[in-house]
Amino acid sequence: MLANPVLGQGADPFVVFADGQYHQIMSAAAGDGSTLVMRSATSLASLSTAPEQKIFTGGNDGAPCCEWWAPEVHQIDGRWYVYVAADDGDNANHRTYVLSADTITGPYAFEGQLKLPGDRWAIDATVFAVGDATYTVWSGWPGDENGEQDLYIARLATPTTVAGKAVRISRPELAWETHAGTVGVLVNEGPAALVRDGRVYLTYSGSGCWTPEYALGMLTADASADLLDPASWTKSPEPVFAPAEGSGLYGTGHNNFFTSPDGTQTWIVYHAVTDPAGSCGADREVYAQPITFAPDGTPQLGTPSTADVPLPSGDPGS
């Protein structure tokens, strides 16, 4: 069994199983937030204690210096790409950047900015493929000032360039996703995609991460539809993964999905806090659990929990 929080202290988790190992990419816990590190292990049970391998430090090769947030690593056409937000020390200048490598553990080269349409504030970029097309979804400001974060989608021409327009597919408008606390910013962020049985399921985090109500919503589209048409997406009216009474967890959000070693299970990994007031701070911890699917294929994420979980199917243990 695995004791939750499976991956200990951390935020905005991203885990992938590849080449016989789990890999977790993140901003280094220590320092000024400019360094990206990766842990790798053959078992999820030992991933949290695996040594951190530094894969890139901001300020090098023309890269911005600071605030490297929410890195993700994706394999596209046989090569590995890291998508990550960073800035020059001013949050208003956060943009999305790309690194690339031949293998998941690097060494990584700085490819530059992913020039998203509008060239505005953009964080939490993820990518997913449907057929021959690859898309990126991110959280961005609709204007030039902070106050609202919306979700946008665009098609990638290459792993480092965007083709055509960007369209907004979600904004915080439902009661559950508009908790803003004293900060006053409305938030949709942290998109994560599952493409399954002809459908695209896109989870995202709604409400401020500084509030205890931070939770996951879901957008759904037919994979054969025009994903650049906002009308192709349907938003769940209620959160699909939210703090549960009695669980002791709050601010359950910013997830991703990964597959068990034998390919038979899908797991969710997410961060949460035990502070009933909510928090975006260093007290966030990373939890994981398997998910299931309804008869129609819709992901059933379960309930956030501190309970122990079994090893993923095919995991040899530590």
The amino acid at 268: I
Beta partners for residue 100, in sequence order: 81, 109
Instruction: Given the residues 12, 67, 72, 124, select the one marked as catalytic.
Output: 12
285 in catalytic set: no
Only one residue has tokens 């023309």, namely 62
Q: Please check whether residue 302 is in contact with residue 247, taking contact to mean a CB–CB distance below 8 angstroms.
A: no
- What does the DSSP 8-state code read for residue 93? G
Spatial contact of 192 and 204, defined as CB atoms under 8 Å apart: yes
Judge whether 148 counts as a catalytic residue: no
Which residue out of 124, 189, 213, 285 is catalytically annotated?
Answer: 189
Nearest 5 degrees, angle CA 229-CA 235-CA 134?
A: 45
Q: How far apart are CA 93 and CA 121, in angstroms?
A: 6
Q: Identity (one letter) of the amino acid at 151? A: L
Q: Which residues contact 272 (CB under 8 A, 6 or more apart)?
A: 5, 243, 249, 250, 251, 252, 253, 284, 285, 287, 304
Residue whose C-alpha is closest to residue 113's, from 142, 88, 86: 86
Nearest to 304 by CA among 316, 284, 295: 284
Place of tokens 């902070």: 146
Question: Which residues contact residue 31 at a Cβ distance below 8 angstroms, ignoring those fewer than 6 apart?
Answer: none
Positions annotated as catalytic residues are 12, 189
